[in-house]
Amino acid sequence: MLEKATITRPYAEAAFAQALEENKLAEWSEMLSLLAVIISNQDMRKLINNPKLSANKLYDLILDIYEENLSKTSKNFIKILIDAKRIELASEISAIFEEKRLAEESVTKINVTTAYPLNENQIKVINDLFSKRTGNKIDINVDEDKDLIGGVIIRAGDSVIDASLRGRLKELNNVIAQ
C-alpha cells in the first residue's frame, strides 16, 4: 500500500498551485483546515464510510456545513477528493498545504513550551531572535506544561532547543548513569 504522504502530496500541491493562481492562500488554508476538522468528526467518519451514502449526498452534506460561500474551484477540489475516495486525507492535505503556505509567505512557525506563562517582552525576544536567525516572519505558538518545572523548549521545524529544567535534569541523569 502506498504511504499516505505519497497519496496526499499531489492533492496538497494542486490545492496550493490553485490557491497561488487565485492569490487566495489564506482562504484555501481556512477551507482546508475546516475540511480537516469536519472529516475528523466521528459521526462524519461514519457517514463517509457508509456505502449507502452516495458521493453526491456526501458532497452536498459537506458543502452545507460551510456557512460561507466557497469558490467554485474549492468546491471542485472537495468534489474531486470525494470522487477519488480521498476525502479522509483532508487533515494530511491541510498540513502539507500549510507548510507550503508558510514557506511561500516566508513565515517560520515556532512552538514554545514553557512551565509558566510568558510575558509580551519574553515573546518579543524569542520572536526577534528567530526572525534574525531565519530572516522570516515568525509565528509563535506558546503552550504551558507544568511538568517542565522551569525553562522552555523551543521547536522550529526540525530544530529543538531544550532549555527546560526537566531536560537538564535528564541530561545530568544520563551523565551520572554512564
Evaluate whether 173 touches 144 at the Cβ level (below 8 Å): no
Average pLDDT score over the chain: 89
Residue range(s) defining the domain that contains residue 73: 4-103
- Domain edge (last residue) among 103, 129, 149: 103
Evaluate whether 152 touches 112 at the Cβ level (below 8 Å): yes
pTM: 0.73
If asked whether residues 88 and 111 sit together in one domain, one would say no
Does residue 12 register a pLDDT over 90? yes
Kindly state the average pLDDT of the residues 154-161.
Answer: 84
- Domain edge (last residue) among 103, 123, 152: 103
**Which distant-in-sequence residues (6+ apart) come within 8 Å of 151 by Cβ?**
114, 115, 163, 164, 165, 166, 167, 168
Q: What is the pLDDT of residue 56?
A: 93
Q: What is the pLDDT of residue 41?
A: 92
pLDDT, one tens digit per residue, over 49-64 is: 898 999 999 999 999 8
- Domain edge (last residue) among 67, 83, 103: 103
Does residue 85 register a pLDDT over 60? yes
In the chain, the number of structural domains is 2
pLDDT, one tens digit per residue, over 18-33 is: 999 999 999 999 999 9
If asked whether residues 46 and 134 sit together in one domain, one would say no
Which of 32-36, 45-49, 94-98 comes out lowest in average pLDDT?
A: 45-49
